[in-house]
């Protein structure tokens, strides 16, 4: 295997002989070797976007978040360690972690263009399919519409680097676009309506229409491979159980999550017929999570109701922060905090999304098959 010095010498010689810049040669080699991954969504995929939003209150850049990350560093991930975005990227063989947040790449102007060839993470905790979701509760988050606008800026930067829109088209066609969003829209709507959803069909139709618009905009920017992570049973997270006098799941939210998944199935099938080259994988995280809740021992979990970190009933009445209750056996827990999974649960979800056979948990193909499709 060639050393780093030998590779650099090759790049220099190739550039001299062919009359192109060294940066362009290295960039073209990078993207041909490893197609980028672009990640969109909310706190389930955020790896530090909100750290750059001074007024945002949806942040995880404090203890005890990241306690099992390298050097116990809180990075902005709502997890004790790696989140699902990290785990998927690692399993697909691209890198050990998710691509950095878009704002982190912007802060390194000199290497911005080449670093973008690895991909970028646009996900923002608190964001939703609707542009207004999270904007009052958390003051400022990056909604899906704005995340896609950031991708457009990324495309322009890569085009400047590679010098050919057609080359960038090919790059984007082979890239993987992962989306994990929608839970915040349902939570915010349910809370604002006192736990009652009077017109569920209208809500699902509006959510599906918003998703359709975002997918269309991504497609128009060159996206072709979509890894869609569905909404989990948010009615079973610790924060929802607090509002059920029995301590059971809050089924109003779960009913909507199930119905929305079915609507997404139909939408994605329609897109695959309407748009040339459109490919997708739809992960049924609702079914995956309920399998763990219904059969914890079979999935090597001991606690599936109470969060590892938090306060109050089920540790679901308060956020995870320094001074909150903190478990020591984190691998025993499904939930890290009042809404989010532990690193172990995220790893299991990623393994299922990447490699599951059949269509019970991911359809029509798993993420690893999608990546090479």
Other beta carbons less than 10 A from residue 308's beta carbon? 26
Which of 143, 158, 123, 277 has its CA nearest to residue 213? 143
Choose, from 46, 79, 124, 340, the residue flagged as catalytic.
Answer: 340
- Tell whether the model's pLDDT for residue 17 goes beyond 70: no
- Tell whether the model's pLDDT for residue 14 goes beyond 90: no
Instruction: Give the model confidence (pLDDT) of 335-355 as tens digits.
Output: 999 999 999 999 999 999 999
Residue 18 placed within a domain: no
Determine what percent of the chain falls in helix, strand and coil, rounding each to the nearest 5. Answer: 50, 10, 40
Residue 54 placed within a domain: yes
SS (H, E, C) the chain: CCCHHHHHHHHHHHHHHHCCCHHHHHHHHHHHHCCCEEEEECCCCCCCHHHHCCCCCCCCCCCCCCCCCHHHCCCCCCCCCCCHHHHHHHHCCCCCCCCCEHHHHHCCHHHHHHHHCCEEECCCCCCCCCCCCCCCCCCCCCCHHHHHHHHHHHHHHHHHHHCCHHHHHHHHHHCEEEEECCHHHHHHHHHHCCCCCCCHHHHHHHHHHHHHHHHHHHHHCCCCEEEEECCCCHHHCHHHHCCCCCCCCCHHHHHHHHHHHHHHHHHHHHHHHHCCCCEEEEECHHHHHHHHHHCCHHHCCCECCCCCEEECHHHCCECCCCCCEECCCHHHECECCCCCECHHHHHHHHHHHHHCCCCCCEECCCHHHHHHC
- Tell whether the model's pLDDT for residue 26 goes beyond 50: no
Is 164 an annotated catalytic residue? no
Distance between CA atoms of residues 295 and 335, nearest Å: 15
Residue 212 placed within a domain: yes
Choose, from 35, 43, 240, 346, the residue flagged as catalytic.
Answer: 43
Residue 317 placed within a domain: yes
Choose, from 79, 120, 337, 346, the residue flagged as catalytic.
Answer: 337
Q: How confident is the model at residue 113 (pLDDT cuts 50, 70, 90)?
A: confident
DSSP letter string over 168-193?
A: HHHHHHHSEEEEE--HHHHHHHHHHT
pLDDT in the model for residue 192: 87
CB 241, CB 191: distance < 8 Å: no
- Tell whether the model's pLDDT for residue 30 goes beyond 50: no
Which of 73, 82, 80 has its CA nearest to residue 51? 73
Measured at the CA of 88, the angle between CA 337 and CA 276, to 5 degrees, comes to 125
Domain containing 138 equals 31-372
pLDDT in the model for residue 18: 44
pLDDT in the model for residue 25: 41
Q: How confident is the model at residue 35 (pLDDT cuts 50, 70, 90)?
A: confident
Is 108 an annotated catalytic residue? no
pTM of the prediction? 0.90
- Tell whether the model's pLDDT for residue 127 goes beyond 90: yes
Q: Quick one: DSSP state of residue 318?
A: B
Residue 291 placed within a domain: yes
Mean pLDDT of 313-339: 97
pLDDT in the model for residue 198: 80
Q: How confident is the model at residue 1 (pLDDT cuts 50, 70, 90)?
A: very low
Distance between CA atoms of residues 168 and 158, nearest Å: 7
- Tell whether the model's pLDDT for residue 34 goes beyond 90: no
CB 278, CB 222: distance < 8 Å: no
For the chain, the farthest-separated pair of C-alpha atoms sits apart, in whole angstroms, at 74
pLDDT in the model for residue 19: 45
Tokens encoding 120: 């970028």
Residue 7 placed within a domain: no
Distance between CA atoms of residues 107 and 178, nearest Å: 23
Mean pLDDT of 118-146: 97
Residue 259 placed within a domain: yes
Instruction: Give the model confidence (pLDDT) of 37-78 as tens digits.
Output: 999 999 999 999 999 999 999 999 999 999 999 999 999 999
Distance between CA atoms of residues 167 and 163, nearest Å: 8
Is 337 an annotated catalytic residue? yes
Tokens encoding 114: 């080449």
Instruction: Give the model confidence (pLDDT) of 80-100 as tens digits.
Output: 999 999 999 999 987 889 999
* 325 beta partners: 310
Residue 23 placed within a domain: no
Measured at the CA of 271, the angle between CA 270 and CA 276, to 5 degrees, comes to 125
C-alpha 173: how far from chain center: 19
CATH number of the domain enclosing 241: 3.40.50.1110
Mean pLDDT of 126-149: 97
Instruction: Give the model confidence (pLDDT) of 179-206 as tens digits.
Output: 999 999 999 999 888 877 888 999 999 9
Which of 155, 290, 269 has its CA nearest to residue 212? 269
For the chain, how many structural domains are there in total? 1
């Amino acid at each position: 295997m060639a050393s780093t010095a030998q590779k650099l010498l090759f790049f220099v010689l190739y550039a001299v002989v062919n009359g192109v810049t060294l940066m362009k040669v290295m960039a073209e080699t990078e993207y041909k070797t490893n197609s980028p991954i672009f990640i969109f969504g909310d706190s389930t995929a955020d790896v530090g976007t909100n750290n750059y939003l001074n007024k945002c209150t949806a942040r995880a850049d404090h203890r005890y978040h990241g306690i099992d990350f390298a050097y116990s560093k809180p990075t902005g991930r709502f997890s004790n360690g790696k989140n699902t975005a990290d785990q998927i990227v690692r399993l697909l063989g691209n890198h050990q972690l998710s691509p950095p947040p878009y704002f982190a790449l912007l802060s390194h102007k000199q290497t911005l263009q080449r670093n973008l060839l690895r991909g970028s993470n646009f996900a923002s905790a608190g964001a939703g399919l609707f542009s207004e979701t999270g904007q009052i509760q958390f003051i400022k988050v990056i909604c899906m519409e704005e995340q896609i606008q950031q991708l457009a800026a990324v495309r322009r930067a890569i085009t400047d680097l590679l010098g050919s829109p057609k080359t960038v088209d090919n790059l984007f066609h082979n890239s993987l676009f992962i989306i994990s969003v929608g839970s915040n829209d349902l939570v915010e709507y349910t809370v604002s309506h006192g736990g009652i959803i009077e017109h569920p069909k209208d809500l699902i139709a509006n959510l599906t229409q918003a998703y359709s618009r975002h997918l269309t905009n991504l497609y128009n920017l060159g996206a072709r491979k979509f890894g869609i992570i569905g909404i989990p049973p948010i009615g079973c997270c610790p924060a929802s159980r607090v509002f059920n006098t029995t301590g059971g799941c809050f089924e109003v939210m779960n009913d909507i999550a199930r119905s929305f998944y079915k609507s997404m199935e139909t939408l994605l099938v329609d897109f695959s017929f309407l748009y040339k080259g459109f490919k997708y994988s739809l992960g049924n995280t609702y079914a995956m999570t309920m399998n763990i809740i219904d059969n914890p021992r079979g999935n090597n979990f001991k606690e599936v109701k109470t969060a590892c970190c938090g306060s109050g009933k089920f540790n679901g009445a308060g956020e995870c922060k320094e001074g909150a209750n903190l478990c020591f056996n984190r691998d025993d827990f499904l939930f890290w905090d009042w809404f989010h999974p532990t690193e172990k649960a995220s790893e299991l979800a990623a393994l299922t999304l990447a490699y599951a056979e059949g269509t019970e948990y991911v359809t029509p193909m798993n993420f690893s098959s999608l990546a090479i499709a």
